[in-house]
């Protein structure tokens, strides 16, 4: 079983590949269509994984609250993907990806406010350096 860190690193590597592959993919079509196609490709892959792991049982016990928040998360994901693909059409990956990663400080702030997750000086300093790094990529 992989640790949370291994999954997080895998996510980072996949996100890096996504940016470069998406830039190539949106070159010859509208960004919204590219996003729709990407979503279409993802959906069966995820359902295959869920069925293969026998996780469909949890549908019976899913709460209304879980479903509402997953739906809201899906809306946010859709907005994010649509905006990201449009940004990739308009600018180099080396500009878009760092700005997209500014979701990090926003996520940490939301997690602190909504979920009550603690903020430490070390965490705040690390995030500040990441934000500075993202800003430096624009000059």
Supply the pLDDT for residue 84.
Answer: 94
Separation between Cα atoms, residue 86 and residue 16, nearest integer Å: 17
- Confidence grade of residue 139 (pLDDT, cut at 50, 70, 90): low
Give a yes or no: residue 62 inside a domain: yes
Domain that holds residue 127: 101-139
- Confidence grade of residue 134 (pLDDT, cut at 50, 70, 90): confident
Question: Do 36 and 57 fall within a single domain?
Answer: yes
Q: What is the mean pLDDT of residues 6-28?
A: 91
Percent of the chain with pLDDT over 90: 80
Give a yes or no: residue 95 inside a domain: no
How many independent structural domains does the chain possess?
Answer: 2
Q: DSSP assignment of the chain, as one string?
A: ---HHHHHHHHHHHHHHHHHHHHHHGGGS-HHHHHHHHHHHHHHHHHHHHHHTT-GGGGGG--HHHHHHHHHHHHHHHHHHHHHHHHHHHS-HHHHHHHHTTHHHHHHHHHHHHH-----HHHHHHHHHHHHHHHHTT-
Question: Do 20 and 84 fall within a single domain?
Answer: yes
Q: What angle do CA 2, 97, 31 make, to 5 degrees?
A: 105
Q: What is the pLDDT of residues 80-108, one digit of tens each?
A: 999 999 999 999 998 898 899 899 899 99
Q: What is the mean pLDDT of residues 100-123?
A: 94
Question: Do 86 and 108 fall within a single domain?
Answer: no
Residue 71 clears pLDDT 90, i.e. is over it? yes
Give a yes or no: residue 96 inside a domain: no
Question: Do 73 and 126 fall within a single domain?
Answer: no
Q: What is the mean pLDDT of residues 60-74?
A: 96
Give a yes or no: residue 18 inside a domain: yes
Question: Do 63 and 9 fall within a single domain?
Answer: yes
């Amino acid at each position: 079983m992989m640790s949370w860190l291994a999954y997080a690193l895998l996510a980072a590597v996949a996100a890096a590949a996504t940016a470069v592959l998406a830039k190539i993919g949106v070159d010859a079509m509208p960004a919204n269509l590219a996003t729709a196609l990407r979503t279409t490709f993802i959906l069966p892959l995820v359902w295959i994984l869920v069925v293969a792991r026998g996780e469909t049982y949890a549908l019976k016990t899913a709460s209304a609250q879980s479903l509402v928040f997953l739906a809201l998360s899906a809306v946010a994901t859709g907005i994010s993907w649509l905006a990201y693909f449009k940004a990739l059409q308009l600018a180099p990956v080396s500009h878009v990806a760092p700005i997209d990663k500014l979701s990090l400080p926003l996520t940490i702030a939301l997690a602190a406010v909504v979920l009550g997750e603690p903020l430490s000086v070390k965490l705040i300093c690390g995030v500040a350096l990441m934000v500075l790094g993202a800003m430096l990529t624009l000059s």
